[in-house]
């Protein structure tokens, strides 16, 4: 099937580029993929299946446009440190860079991110078939922000999406079927399952894989999804109209008490070393019966030959507090952004346009397992739906969440620093007695507020 799909995709892409000289009404357009021929751009990428797909098509992009691309790739845990250092460096400053939505708030606050609206609207710079309205609303809205605004969705378009993640419950359906279990609908049911699944596969096996590292990444995934489900907020306006951390609210206290219980009853004692990769491996090799994390990390484990439990993994939406509550997830979005001081902005835009186009993203999804595609037409493509049907519950879970999910954080330039502090507080709550959770949250609020206030003065 893949040879046939690949051939049809090449024909589609060639047709796309041949047709790029005319618009939908058949009239001539001034757009050309060669308008920046002879240019050179620097691109920085984080290691990820999305960037691997991009790299695999760089030669085609360079041949099409005549643009020379110099790129570097770094592991995600090292990537942002390297990117931060290079953003102001004249020689190594990237023209285009891969970024998560949270990180871009800091760069936008410094004025070093280009607004992409004028590029999309230009008939000489953008192919008429690009169709930016094809992106899911919750994704494209999350990439618009005016620095200083406490809401997303207004202001300049800071980036365009490569792909995104929803936080879902993935589980080993082989184990569940053997034990006569069903995916939980509520958080209480999830906790009950943890008691049933303790050492389900002997010593060393455990009910659920959860991130737990002492940094922002352990906050934004399952934790923030559950935090939102309990009705808690990260920041809230106080009586004086000042935005302050709401980490000590009754809703946050209820959620954190639950989370501590979930971790103690269901997660591995080595949770504090588990990040994206480790939670996926734990589900894939059968050490954990469930995983509460990004839907796509479990998807990779379900690819035939990729893991011991490939073919046995299924998906369900994240639990809710009460049956009937709206199912929703916090969202992570990998995107491409342009530096406001890019050496050749036309060449940089062509790069972003090519690698966020429908044609490329469909090819990447079918041939490189680049799920989730941020374009509606790509996700709904019959070929992709046929491929996703091999992963039980994946499409159904996606459809249950896509209209209600978004980035749940209050956008701030210092969100990464504050969530690092938050993650340390969560670790402290897990290690201390239950009676201390309330006090730890109050201490955490004070520390976050002190840091946030100091950053506002800078």
Name the residue among 130, 131, 151, 150 with its Cα closest to residue 141: 151
- pLDDT (tens digit per residue) in 56-87: 999 999 999 999 999 999 998 899 999 999 99
DSSP output for 308-330: TTTT-EEEEPPPBSSTTSPP--B
State the CB neighbour count (10 A cutoff) for residue 326: 10
Evaluate if residue 405 carries a pLDDT over 70.
Answer: yes
- Main-chain phi, psi angles of 75, to 5 degrees: -60, 145
Name the residue among 327, 316, 362 with its Cα closest to residue 226: 327
- CA 363-375-26 angle, to 5 degrees, is 80
H or E segment at 118?
Answer: helix 117-121
Phi and psi based region of residue 26 (left: phi greater than 0; alpha: psi -120 to 50; beta: remaining): left
Evaluate if residue 385 carries a pLDDT over 90.
Answer: yes
- pLDDT of res. 29: 64
Evaluate if residue 372 carries a pLDDT over 60.
Answer: yes
**Average pLDDT for 338-359:** 98
Name the residue among 245, 274, 223, 237 with its Cα closest to residue 448: 245
As a whole number, the mean pLDDT across the chain is 92
Evaluate if residue 377 carries a pLDDT over 50.
Answer: yes
- Main-chain phi, psi angles of 225, to 5 degrees: -65, -45
- Residue 200's alpha-carbon distances to 269, 271, 322, in angstroms, are 16, 18, 27
Structure tokens belonging to residue 121: 């609207």
Evaluate if residue 116 carries a pLDDT over 70.
Answer: yes
- Given pLDDT bands bounded at 50, 70 and 90, which one contains residue 458? low
**Cα distance between residue 405 and residue 165, in whole Å:** 10
Name the residue among 169, 165, 166 with its Cα closest to residue 319: 169
H or E segment at 187?
Answer: helix 187-196
- pLDDT of res. 21: 46
| Contact status, residue 183 vs residue 177, Cβ threshold 8 Å | no
More confident residue, 230 or 17: 230
- Residue 223 in 3-state DSSP? helix
**Cα distance between residue 165 and residue 373, in whole Å:** 9
Residues 6+ apart with CB under 8 A from 117: 156, 157
Widest CA span of the chain, in angstroms? 71
Q: How far is CA 296 from the centre of its chain?
A: 9
| Contact status, residue 40 vs residue 67, Cβ threshold 8 Å | yes
More confident residue, 29 or 232: 232
Structure tokens belonging to residue 98: 């891969």
Evaluate if residue 351 carries a pLDDT over 70.
Answer: yes
**Cα distance between residue 344 and residue 355, in whole Å:** 17
Helices (H) and strands (E) in the chain, counts: 21, 10
Name the residue among 215, 205, 320 with its Cα closest to residue 276: 215
Structure tokens belonging to residue 135: 């992106």
- pLDDT (tens digit per residue) in 163-208: 999 999 999 999 999 999 999 999 999 999 999 999 999 999 999 9
DSSP output for 13-75: HHHHHHGGGB-TTS-B----TTTTTT-EEEEEEESSHHHHHHHHTHHHHHHHH--EEEEEEE-
- pLDDT of res. 23: 46
Angle of the 58-65 helix axis to the 345-355 helix axis, nearest 10 = 130
Structure tokens belonging to residue 211: 């991130």
């Amino acid at each position: 099937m893949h040879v046939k799909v690949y051939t049809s995709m090449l024909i589609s892409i060639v047709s796309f580029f041949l047709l790029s000289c005319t618009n939908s009404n058949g009239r001539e357009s001034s757009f050309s993929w060669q308008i920046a021929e002879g240019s050179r751009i620097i691109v920085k990428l984080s290691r990820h299946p999305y960037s691997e797909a991009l790299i695999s098509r760089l030669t085609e992009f360079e041949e099409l446009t005549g643009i020379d691309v110099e790129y570097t790739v770094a592991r995600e845990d090292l990537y942002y440190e390297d990117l931060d250092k290079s953003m102001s460096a004249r020689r190594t400053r990237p023209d285009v860079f891969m970024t998560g939505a949270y990180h871009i708030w800091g760069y936008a606050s410094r004025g070093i991110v280009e607004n992409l609206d004028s590029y999309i609207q230009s008939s000489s710079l953008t192919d008429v078939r690009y169709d930016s309205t094809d992106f899911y609303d919750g994704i494209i809205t999350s990439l618009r922000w005016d620095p200083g605004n406490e809401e997303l969705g207004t202001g300049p378009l800071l980036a365009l999406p490569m792909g995104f993640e929803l936080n879902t419950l993935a589980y080993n359906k082989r184990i569940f079927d053997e034990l006569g279990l069903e995916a939980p609908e509520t958080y209480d049911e999830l906790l009950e399952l943890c008691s049933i699944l303790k050492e389900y596969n002997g010593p060393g096996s455990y009910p659920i894989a959860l991130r737990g590292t002492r940094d922002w990444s352990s906050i934004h995934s399952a934790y923030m999804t559950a935090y939102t489900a309990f009705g808690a907020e990260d920041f809230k306006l106080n009586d004086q109209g000042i935005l302050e951390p709401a980490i000590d609210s009754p809703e946050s206290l209820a959620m954190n008490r639950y989370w501590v219980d979930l971790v103690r009853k269901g997660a591995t004692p080595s949770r504090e070393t588990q990040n994206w990769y480790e939670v996926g491996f734990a589900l894939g090799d059968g050490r954990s019966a469930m995983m509460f994390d990004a839907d796509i990390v479990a998807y990779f484990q379900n690819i035939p030959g990729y893991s011991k439990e490939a073919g046995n993994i299924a998906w369900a939406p994240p639990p809710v507090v009460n049956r009937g509550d709206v199912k929703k997830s916090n969202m992570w979005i990998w995107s491409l952004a342009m530096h406001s001081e890019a050496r050749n902005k036309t060449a940089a835009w062509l790069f972003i346009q090519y690698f966020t186009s429908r044609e490329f993203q469909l090819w990447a999804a079918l041939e490189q397992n680049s799920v989730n595609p941020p374009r509606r037409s790509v996700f709904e493509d019959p070929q992709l739906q046929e491929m996703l049907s091999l992963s039980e519950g994946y499409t159904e879970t996606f459809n249950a969440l896509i209209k209600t999910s978004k980035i749940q954080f209050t956008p701030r330039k210092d969100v990464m620093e504050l969530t690092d502090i938050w993650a340390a507080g969560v670790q402290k709550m897990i290690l201390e007695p239950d009676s201390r959770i309330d006090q730890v949250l109050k201490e955490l609020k004070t520390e976050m507020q002190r840091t946030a206030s100091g950053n506002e003065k800078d």
